[in-house]
Amino acid sequence: MPLTSFIPIAPDSDFPLENLPYGVFRLRSGGPARIGVAIGDYVLDLSVIDKAGLLAGTPVGGRGLFARDALNDFMVAGPVAWQSVRDTLQRLLSAHEPTLRDNQPLRDAALIRQAEVELLLPVQIGDFTDFYSSLYHATNTGKMLRPDSPPLFPNWRYLPVAYHGRASTVVVSGTPIHRPHGQIKPSSSPEPFFSPSRALDFEVELGVFIGIGNEFGVPVPIERAEEHIFGCVIVNDWSARDIQGWEYQPLGPFLSKNFATTISPWVVPFAALAPFRCAGEPQDPPPMAYLQAPGPSHFDITLEVWLNDTRICQTNARYLYWSFAQQIAHHTVNGCRLRPGDLIASGTISGPTKEARGCLFELTWRGTEPLQLADGSTRRWLENGDTVTMRAWAQGDGYRIGFGEATGTIVVR
């Protein structure tokens, strides 16, 4: 049965008592940034309830960690502290607990309508790694780029392929996205030329934030990998396909990817996703020993993409071939150090149907099959003024664990 709170929460709300995602906010009327959790249509200001002593029974109570402009210091506290705070918040917000429910002055100070706050980038991000973990996406891409060769490179089924992104241009939902410039060389042109991207795209992904890192030189074993995950967000790793096509040989994407990556502002606790664990795509050949998870490590999370007022994609995280646990184990098997606040993204999440293709590159089949939008216009690639909105949720029995939105509008610099 769904948990009940003294705060009214609609059955289709993204933020029931089972969720309690963390975010950084400030009042639209002014004041400092601080940390809160989303509950229904409200934000619970954790700095207020911590100052009132309601988190005193947790390992982080009274330390002022929630009067900060980023989640990093709380993330460093580790899984025991995360679970303790989560348990305490679920108790305090329960319909049956009077401590906060019956203290009207404290409720007035601690509970703020989401419409009255500005949501900020929740984490100070140190490093950003983007994987390439969807079999359907990799296969479709290979078919388009290498029609006379096998769609997958020989290494793809043996290891989670990835590249290192640029943390400095990870931005929070609502941040305008400037159309990038770079070198472009169409097949019809003998030489490259400098131009704004003419093939701007989105990529629907999920990302996890590393809460506790590992020591330099010490790999994270796969059976302990999820202990390092603090929470999960929606990721839109914008892509300039024409710039990428010219620059990626031989080292991979650079300017075509590092100009902007949008994330949702609410970080869903990894613990909230536990009921939605499921098997992923069958892995053949079997992974090497260091990539063999002890049990199911994928999650049944629906993702959808809206282009302006038209839904153009609905897919699911269970379609990923490589899980986050496998990504972390592979990322560190050479001794690479992960640190609190690092962002690990799944790569484009595509599924077996056309609607489940997670980017315009696939949806329009490299621009050859334009999409029809609700207003009658068509799109091969993103145009100036277009708004891309991504949503995600895991559906429970009578409740949903929602991620909110990751939104960005294309503008010209």
Q: Are 160 and 326 in contact (CB under 8 A)?
A: yes
Q: Tokens 């145009």 — which residue?
A: 383
Q: How far apart are CA 23 and CA 37, in angstroms?
A: 6
Amino acid identity of residue 114, one-letter, is: Q
pLDDT in tens, the chain (413 residues): 789 999 999 999 999 999 999 999 999 999 999 999 999 999 999 999 999 999 999 999 999 999 999 999 999 999 999 999 999 999 999 999 999 999 999 999 999 999 999 999 999 999 999 999 999 999 999 999 999 999 999 999 999 999 999 999 999 999 999 999 999 999 899 999 999 999 999 999 999 999 999 999 999 999 999 999 999 999 999 999 999 999 998 888 899 999 999 999 999 999 999 999 999 999 999 999 999 999 999 999 999 999 999 999 999 999 999 999 999 999 999 999 999 999 999 999 999 999 999 999 999 999 999 999 999 999 999 999 999 999 999 999 999 999 999 999 999 98
Q: Are 298 and 318 in contact (CB under 8 A)?
A: yes
Q: Which of 137, 228, 330, 331 is catalytic?
A: 137
With left for phi above 0 and alpha for psi between -120 and 50, is residue 31 left, alpha or beta?
A: left
Domain 128-411 homologous superfamily, CATH:
Fumarylacetoacetase-like, C-terminal domain (3.90.850.10)
Question: Does 137 qualify as catalytic in the annotation?
Answer: yes
Q: How far apart are CA 272 and CA 401, in angstroms?
A: 7
Buried residues in 196-225 as b, exposed as e (16+ CB within 10 A): bbebbbbbbbbbbbbbbbbeeeebbebeeb
Residue spans per domain, the chain: 22-120, 128-411
Domain 22-120 homologous superfamily, CATH:
Fumarylacetoacetase, N-terminal domain (2.30.30.230)
Integer Rg of the chain from CA: 22
Give bridge partners of residue 196 from the DSSP assignment: 181
Rounded to two decimals, the pTM is 0.97
Residue 56's Cβ-count burial label (10 Å; 0-12, 13-18, 19+) is: exposed
* DSSP E strand boundaries for 300-372: 302-307, 310-316, 343-345, 371-372
